[in-house]
Amino acid sequence: MAAFDLDGTLLNSQNAMSDGNGEALHWLAARGVVVVAATARPYESAMRHFAPRGLVAAAVVCAGADVRDTRGTVIRQSPLPGEFVEFVAALSDRADWTATLATAEMTFRREPTTPEWAATPRPGLRFVESFSGMALPGILTALLQPPADDPHIAELLAWEGRVGFHQAFSFDGTELITATAPGADKGHGLAALCAALGIDPADAVAFGDSGVDLPMFGVAGLAVAMANGDEAVRAAAGMVAGHNDDDGVAAAVRKIWG
């Protein structure tokens, strides 16, 4: 099994999977290796990068809160506590944060200003000006983009323990705070996927670049950090691959499995 974080790892800074990385994943699949999208993104957003290339991938998405096999069959889903969803929706409106709340089927995103893409609706993605008055059942993850010194962050982190928080980065380097239900992280997700598929986690390789990937590093037999990754992530890895803009994944795949 090979589990790949997307932003900052498998995808480059243009939010694209390079031809080199795509070919490397096909090469792995042809050798019987299960390819896994392991990302804070929701399922549909993650699969958009695999399907056009004819790649079939299992999923540890929503930062581990949504685990699916290669057919898209749900293995495990762990919704956030309803009271936290109500809190974070209200906080995002009050603090005017960019915030993304994702269920298994739909992603709701609010931004301080209406984005250009809102004029052309995308399947599974809905822009909202405010979360106020919305029913938001079954939210699996919250992706939040507060300014670094925003005082409202302290209100958010007061939920530590009742909710799991992890650091992540978007494709353009924007720092995110990811919130999931306790025990729903990429590590637990990868372990659940391995158990469902009958794969020993020691035979899994995990690729990542940020704090949200560290739980996965603790489960996989080999952890691979990107050269552009955080210092703590690189220190926790058994191998450091090249930069995500230089087909670092492809080179590492050939080295490990070649």
* H helix runs in the chain, sequence order: 19-30, 43-47, 82-95, 153-157, 186-197, 214-217, 231-236, 248-257
3-state helix, strand, coil in the chain (%, to 5): 35, 25, 40
Q: Which tokens in the block code for residue 223?
A: 């952890």
Listed in order, the ranges of the chain carrying CATH 3.40.50.1000 are: 2-77+184-257
Q: Which fold has domain 2-77+184-257?
A: Rossmann fold (3.40.50)
CA 211/CA 145 separation, integer angstroms? 15
Q: Which region among 6-15, 74-83, 88-97, 168-177 has the lowest average model confidence (pLDDT)?
A: 168-177
Check residues 258 and 213 and name the one with the higher pLDDT.
Answer: 213
Secondary structure (H, E, C), 140-153: CEEEEECCCCCCCH
CA 81/CA 83 separation, integer angstroms? 6
Contact 80, 181 (CB under 8 A): yes
pLDDT tens per residue, range 27-50 = 999 999 999 999 999 999 999 999
Q: At which residue do the structure tokens 């803009």 appear?
A: 245
- pTM of whole model > 0.85? yes
Q: Which tokens in the block code for residue 8?
A: 């900052």
User: Which residues in 145-171 are b (16+ Cβ under 10 Å) and which e?
Assistant: bbeeeeebbeebeebeeebbbbbbbbb
Q: Which CATH architecture best describes the domain 82-180?
A: 2-Layer Sandwich (3.30)
Count the alpha carbons within 13 Å of 124 in the hemisphere toward its beta carbon.
Answer: 12
**What is the dihedral sign for C-alpha 91, 94, 96, 102?**
positive
Residue 169: per-residue pLDDT: 87
Residue 179: per-residue pLDDT: 98
Q: Which region among 69-78, 106-115, 189-198 has the lowest average model confidence (pLDDT)?
A: 106-115
Residue 122: per-residue pLDDT: 83
Q: Which tokens in the block code for residue 229?
A: 């990754």
Q: Give the residue among 224, 154, 240 at the shortest CA–CA distance from 1.
A: 224
CA 49/CA 91 separation, integer angstroms? 31
Listed in order, the ranges of the chain carrying CATH 3.30.1240.10 are: 82-180
- Nearest-Å Rg of the Cα atoms of the chain is 17
